[in-house]
Amino acid sequence: QVQLVDSGGGLAQPGGSLRLSCAASKSRFSLYLMAWYRQAPGKQRELVATITEDGANYADSVKGRFTISRDNAKNTVYLQMNRLKPEDTAVYYCHARVGTNDYWGQGTQVTVSS
């Protein structure tokens, strides 16, 4: 069982920045496929970014503004969010795939508003 703890959400103004963190409970973190998803009110959960040993991929809506990264020594994945827009408002969830198993963080609220 892998536990994921999301943090770093909050209120930001349009054009501002936030950095989300997701800490995993177990070692061998470097083997995990990590991703961030988000879910806005009344909408389906959508994939924001993924990171593997081959690199990172992003949803078109966040390309050039968000950066996913990982620190395997700290068992942590990050999502740096710049030039935030009101439409980025959502609950953001960390996701890990370990073998055939999927694990989720508890979610962290991001609100972009003036």
Enumerate the β-bridge partners of residue 66: 81
| Average pLDDT over every residue of 89-98 | 95
Dihedral angle sign, alpha carbons of residues 99, 39, 77, 108: negative
- Residue 27's pLDDT is 67
- Which tens digits make up the pLDDT trace of 3-61? 999 999 999 999 999 999 999 987 677 778 999 999 999 999 999 999 988 899 999 99
Q: How confident is the model at residue 2 (pLDDT cuts 50, 70, 90)?
A: confident
Distances (CA, A) of 90 to 25, 31, 48: 25, 28, 11
pLDDT of residue 46: 98
Residue-wise pLDDT for 45-57, tens only, equals 999 999 988 899 9
CA distances from 88 to 92, 100, 106 (A): 10, 30, 18
